[in-house]
Structure 1
Amino acid sequence: MLQNELKTYAKREFLSQLSIEPYYQPIVDLVESDVFAYEALSRFRLENVPVKPIKVFKMAENIGFLPELDLMCRKLAIESFSGMKGYLFINVFPDYLVSEYIGKGHTLSYLSNAGLSPSRVVLELNEAVRVQDMSLLQKAIKYYRELGFGIAIDDIGTGFNSINQLLELEGLLDYVKIPRELVDGVSKSKIKYNLIKVLSEVCTNIGAKPIYEGLEKEEDLMTIYHDFSVQLVQGFYFSEPLTASKARDFTPNVKLAKICNGNCLNGRRLNSLRFQPTEKFHIFMESVENSVDRYVILQVGEDRYMVDLWRLKSQVDTKKRNLYHYKDLIEVIEKEKDLFLSFQSLPILRPEKADTKNLFDLIINSKYQLFLLEESDHIKVVERNNLLDYFYRTLAKELADVNPLTYLPGNRLIEEKIKELGSKEEFWVCYMDLDNFKAFNDAYGFYAGDQMIKRVGFLLEDLRRLNTDRVFVGHIGGDDFVILLWDMSLETAKEKLLGLIREIQEKLLEFYSPEDRERGYYLARGRDDELKEFPVASVSAVLLKGSKDPLDVSKRSAQLKKKAKSYRGSVLLVEFLNEILTINL
């Protein structure tokens, strides 16, 4: 009893001495040269003396006031966001997100009072607290995403936001924040560079957009922008956290070279070295020994080469250095062609003269890591890993919110299109997913799973191209897709979807082994960890009448999908007719 009274007194005293002011740090979109979002932060004073947030939160935790303090900060951040552009990122502790999912709903109440839609809010999972119940957190995230919220995970790889947690939340994240510890100094560190490269690729594979935090130096900005085709960044280079009034007037100063002629890679100017063919190899190696650059242009006589210095230094060991020490540079280049890439041998891509899909296939299947990209009157050298994103920027810039794996419109564009079509008298919505996709991933591996998702994306895009004015296709995430159809009868919509599902089934058979194709099923472990039979190339789809309310459409489709999933093999369930159509291979 006394202990409770002391805690109550401590809370009252703490609250009477505490003042909170919300601050907002911009998240900048480098592609659009504008603010993409603001992350809400809190600044504290105790008895009018500034105190670090981490100390205030620790004090609140010690007196049992942490949940209340978290809600106070969130409420102020939402109330003061009025008049700002872009999205609002709000830090939340995972356990508090779960508690609201179970029944408190404070955030929804604050947003309603502020007149702010959940679709403009991203809930950012804080790394400071361990997740107690991952399955419950997954359910909470699904619930909030259905309401329109975006979900981000903060500072991946630090605190309790481990790589394993990233895997547990696959398909549930819209954004992943790459921490300051990796971003700061990436231009000078091979380890940081490679770690960011891996994390960026992981984000692409799970359908989440990376946000690079802690950006303070121009050389780091140029490295991540040109080498990783970065879109979203955050850090003191653009702005420190701002008061609400200053945030409303903030415009980022984005100065990035859009076109770079001459000695460039991914649009960034490279250092150029010139040697005579008969100069000795050791002289060249001594000239680059202390260089922190990754790539250089090497001109030997009349020929030009692209050299990856990081790779060169790691592969030319002491034994090779001694062997090549007094040899002519041109002789070493002839022997180590994989390390000295001749410009004449690089494949040339011409986007204006080729279909995007064919270019993607060419890049994916090519043995080359570098390509020459011809655009109008100039040629760029571009890394293989950057090309898919490059084509997105140049050929599909209108899709500002796309799924990074399939390059189909993502959740927000789907929602906007449904609202737009809501003014029509009639339109149709089809939700489609691949049956037992997790089992396929487990049996055949994530790479095969990614390729399967990409193939479905291409097939959906083909349907859209053939019906440009009447069909919209989108990728919700994971193996879930949406198709919107209008200006056509229900029978026509059914016919198009049945044809699409048949084509998907036929194309996806290529991903299974001959034995599995022959018997019509494959063996994999189910969610109960028991070995089971799963049918090959099976799709579940539901077709329902559209509504201008995306949440209503989502809820109705979720109920129908459960029914469709109860059938073995491919199914199209038509809500309007209460009709179930099975599609056989």
Structure 2
Amino acid sequence: MSDTIPAQCGRCQTLPAKVEETGQLFLWPPLGHSLGKLVAFMREAGLEYQLRPEAQCVVVRLEQGSAAALAGRLGDTLTREELRGTRALFKQGSGEPGLTDFPNVGPLQQFLTLSRAGWLVDMLAEQRLTSHFQPIVHADDTRRIFAHEALMRGMEKDGSLVSPGTIMETARGADLLFQLDLAARGSAIREAVRHGLTGSLFINFTPTAIYDPAYCLRSTVSVIKDAGLEPHKVVFEVIESDHAQDTRHLRAIIDFYRKAGFRVALDDLGAGHSSLNLIHQLRPDIMKLDMELIRNIHEDEYKASITQKLLEIAQKLGILTVAEGIETPEELRWVRAHGVDYLQGYLIARPQNPPVQSTPHITG
């Protein structure tokens, strides 16, 4: 057995096989009555199956291309809790699982989602992710672009766009977040270089999609170096921070980025209770105020009071601030008057590819 340790994270860089070939689906339900429901379903559906009572297991024979149809029917047979609790393993061919197969055992719900996620596997394999860029401008002069945020988009084979929400939802359900997050970071860097962006670049990352920063992020750092980007101009933006249960793990990611010379931004500040705790735990270089907090802030004394205190904290701690979701002149005037450093929103410019090179001068 080789003792060689891989230099990269294989999980992030390896795509699962699409569940389209002939093979066997091994199912281990959590309860006896769930096993009975599965057997009754198989019998009524006329499927080829084996019952292995001693292992509380049902083995189903799947022909090529039949997984998606089975997934829909199983979803109607078992409860949501049973779908999450039943363990599933798909193995191509007719052989029995070996030790190397068992790391691939996962919830049946995940298998069902993956069986319908062949389009996303293809999109990642064919590098059909791209980035749209939204400018972030100086609050005191909206003509001066401080940075661009890279926002992920998918592309169909005909060139039409796939929304990031659809991609993220499918990736989360099919356990493809690791591969998606890596691909999105690489796309953002490549597109920024292709368009010759010279200001700072904000790149989103999902903390739960990173196992170990020393391995998972090594390829991203390499792409940045190869692209010739200055590290201090790259800002990694923590998204979905409320989903990061392990703060120590998130802190390790932040430390890795900082040691490499990058800056860190905390996104959606004010959107959830945990984000306030993350200020002192992560000590970000930049805080982005959530757009829901900014919406009609000039008319809402509660939002105004909360935001004013957040800005005071940031100014005292030397943290730069970005107001997201600026859509009206009134919102812009309020945040500008209360000391926000930078602005982002549709009033300035929408996300675009190619990115805008100039922004309007908004006074008042």
TM-score range, shorter chain: 0.5 to 0.7
The CA RMSD measured in Å over matched residues stands at: 2.5
Alignment partner, residue 16 of structure 1: 122
> Residues 194-228 of structure 1: CA distance to partner in whole angstroms, max 9, x if unpaired?
111011012123321111000000011112112x1
Q: Give the drift of 1:35.
A: 0.6
Amino acid at match of 2:311: S
**Are 1:30 and 2:136 counterparts?**
no
> Do the aligned partners of 2:136 and 2:145 also contact (CA within 8 Å) in 1?
yes
Amino acid at match of 1:112: K
Q: Give the drift of 1:16.
A: 2.5
> Residues 202-255 of structure 1: CA distance to partner in whole angstroms, max 9, x if unpaired?
2123321111000000011112112x1222010000000010x343xx211123
- Aligned pairs (5 A) from 1:108-147: 108-127=221-240, 129-147=242-260
Q: Quote the sequence identity (%).
A: 29
CA 1:5/1:241 → structure 2, altered by over 3 Å: closer, same or farther? farther
Q: Give the drift of 1:175.
A: 0.4
Gaps of 5+ in 1: 258-585
CA 1:193/1:129 → structure 2, altered by over 3 Å: closer, same or farther? closer
Q: Give the drift of 1:9.
A: 6.7
> Residues 454-508 of structure 1: CA distance to partner in whole angstroms, max 9, x if unpaired?
xxxxxxxxxxxxxxxxxxxxxxxxxxxxxxxxxxxxxxxxxxxxxxxxxxxxxxx
> Structure 1: which 4+ aligned runs deviate by more than 6 Å?
none
**Are 1:254 and 2:361 counterparts?**
yes
Alignment partner, residue 229 of structure 1: 339
Q: 1:152 aligns with which of 246, 265, 275?
A: 265
> Do the aligned partners of 1:87 and 1:122 also contact (CA within 8 Å) in 2?
yes
- Aligned pairs (5 A) from 1:409-558: none
CA 1:5/1:121 → structure 2, altered by over 3 Å: closer, same or farther? farther
Q: Give the drift of 1:166.
A: 2.0
Alignment partner, residue 77 of structure 1: 188
Q: Give the drift of 1:188.
A: 1.2
Counterpart Cα distance in 1 of 2:219 and 2:251: 19
- Aligned pairs (5 A) from 1:215-294: 215-226=326-337, 228-243=338-353, 245-247=354-356, 250-257=357-364
Amino acid at match of 1:15: V
Counterpart Cα distance in 2 of 1:246 and 1:143: 29
Alignment partner, residue 284 of structure 2: 173
Amino acid at match of 1:22: S
Larger radius of gyration: 1
> Do the aligned partners of 1:35 and 1:85 also contact (CA within 8 Å) in 2?
no
Gaps of 5+ in 2: 1-23, 26-88, 93-110
> Do the aligned partners of 1:127 and 1:160 also contact (CA within 8 Å) in 2?
no
* SS of corresponding position for 1:187: helix
**Are 1:205 and 2:311 counterparts?**
no
* SS of corresponding position for 1:69: helix
> Do the aligned partners of 2:117 and 2:170 also contact (CA within 8 Å) in 1?
no
Amino acid at match of 2:181: D
CA 1:225/1:64 → structure 2, altered by over 3 Å: closer, same or farther? same
Q: Give the drift of 1:163.
A: 1.2
* SS of corresponding position for 1:110: helix
> Residues 31-89 of structure 1: CA distance to partner in whole angstroms, max 9, x if unpaired?
35311011110122456554331221111122221111111111111001121131110
Aligned residues: 251
CA 1:178/1:103 → structure 2, altered by over 3 Å: closer, same or farther? closer
Q: 1:190 aligns with which of 301, 304, 308?
A: 301
* SS of corresponding position for 1:230: coil
Alignment partner, residue 89 of structure 1: 202
> Residues 380-409 of structure 1: CA distance to partner in whole angstroms, max 9, x if unpaired?
xxxxxxxxxxxxxxxxxxxxxxxxxxxxxx
**Greater relative CO (CA pairs within 8 A, separation 6+):** 2
> Do the aligned partners of 1:127 and 1:158 also contact (CA within 8 Å) in 2?
no
> Do the aligned partners of 1:151 and 1:175 also contact (CA within 8 Å) in 2?
yes
Counterpart Cα distance in 2 of 1:36 and 1:162: 24
> Do the aligned partners of 2:134 and 2:344 also contact (CA within 8 Å) in 1?
yes
Counterpart Cα distance in 2 of 1:69 and 1:5: 24
Counterpart Cα distance in 1 of 2:138 and 2:255: 26
Amino acid at match of 1:155: D
Counterpart Cα distance in 2 of 1:160 and 1:109: 35
> Residues 279-318 of structure 1: CA distance to partner in whole angstroms, max 9, x if unpaired?
xxxxxxxxxxxxxxxxxxxxxxxxxxxxxxxxxxxxxxxx
Counterpart Cα distance in 1 of 2:361 and 2:274: 30
* SS of corresponding position for 1:124: strand
> Do the aligned partners of 1:126 and 1:154 also contact (CA within 8 Å) in 2?
yes
CA 1:28/1:5 → structure 2, altered by over 3 Å: closer, same or farther? farther
> Residues 525-575 of structure 1: CA distance to partner in whole angstroms, max 9, x if unpaired?
xxxxxxxxxxxxxxxxxxxxxxxxxxxxxxxxxxxxxxxxxxxxxxxxxxx
